[in-house]
Chain A
Amino acid sequence: MVDIGVGYGMIAIAAGLAMGLSALAAAIGEMAIGSAAVGATAEDRDMFGKGLILTVLPETLAIFGLVVAVLLWLKIP
C-alpha cells in the first residue's frame, strides 16, 4: 500500500461530497420539474419538447459538482 497521507484522503472525500451532494440537489430539482412536465405533456402533447428541456435544467448543478470534483481530484498526485 502506498501511503498517500491524510490530506489527500480529505481531498478525495471532498471530491466525493462535491459530486454526490450536487447530484442529489439536481435530483431534487428534477423531481418537481419532471412530474410537472409529465402532467403538462398529458394535457398537451406539444409540451413534450419544452418539458424535456425544462427537466434537464437542474442538471447544471451536478455538472458544477463534477467540475469541482475533477479540479480537486487533479490535486491528488
Chain B
Amino acid sequence: MREMPHLFDANVFLGPIFLRHDDTPDDVPRLLAAMDENGISRALVTHGLAKWQHPAVGNRLVIQETKGIDRLVPCWVVMPSVTGELPPERELVAQLLDSGARAARLCTGMNRLTLEPFEIETLLEALAERRVPLFLDTNNRHWSEPRPWAFIEWALRTYPTLPLVLLREPPANYRTLFTLMDRHSNLYIETCYFQGHDAIALGAGRWGADRLVFGSGLPEWDPGMAITGLTYASFSVEERDMVASGSLLRLLDNCVV
C-alpha cells in the first residue's frame, strides 16, 4: 500500500475570505479541521483580511492567530511603501522575518499594482536580498485569464536570487510558461490549478520536482483536485514527496534570517 504524502500546502488563507459561505472554515480550529479532512499536514497561511481588507491588518492578525501552532506558517501580503500604508521595503521584509513569517504574497490585481519597474523594484530588491519567496497572486479564477508575463520575465531576470512562485497557474499558458521555466531557475509553479494532462509529472521530469510546489487554495478553492492531481501523478514517490512538501520547505529554509 502506498503511504500518504506529507502535504505542506503553500496556498491557504486563514480567517474571513471574500464570498465565503456557512461551510467555509474561517478561523483556526475550522481550518485545521478542514486540513485534517483532506490529509494536509501543514500550511503556509495568508490572512484573508491581508488580501481582502488591507495587508497592515491581515499581516498582524496572521502572526497573532498562528502563534504556537506549528502546522501553520505565516505568509505576509506585501506592497510598495510609497504611500505610507506599510513600512519602507527593507524594514517591511525585516519585520516579516522577525515575526516568523517566511514568505510574501503579492496581490497584483486586488492592490491595483501596475507592476511597472518604477513601482515595484524597491520591494523586489528587498525581498531578493533576504531570499524571501514571493508568491504571485493574480486572483485568477479561470484558465483563460491573462498573466503579467512581461513583469514576470523582468523580475526573474533582474532578481535571480528572488524565488518567484506562480499561484494557481492555469493549464492554458504552457507555450509561455515553459519558456520561462526553462530559462529561469528561480521560477516555481504552485500546482493547484496546474491541471494539463499529467502536467505535474511532466514538469517534474523537465525542470525537477523541486520547481513544483503543492498548493490547494483552501478555503477559497476545493482542495480535492489539487490533492489527487498529486497523488495520482505518474512520477516516483520521491518526486511526489518533493512536490508535496520538500520544495516548499527548501524555499522557506532558504530565507536569510
Q: Do A and B bind each other?
A: no
A-to-B contact residues, CB < 8 Å: none
- Residues on B lying within 8 angstroms of A by beta carbon are none
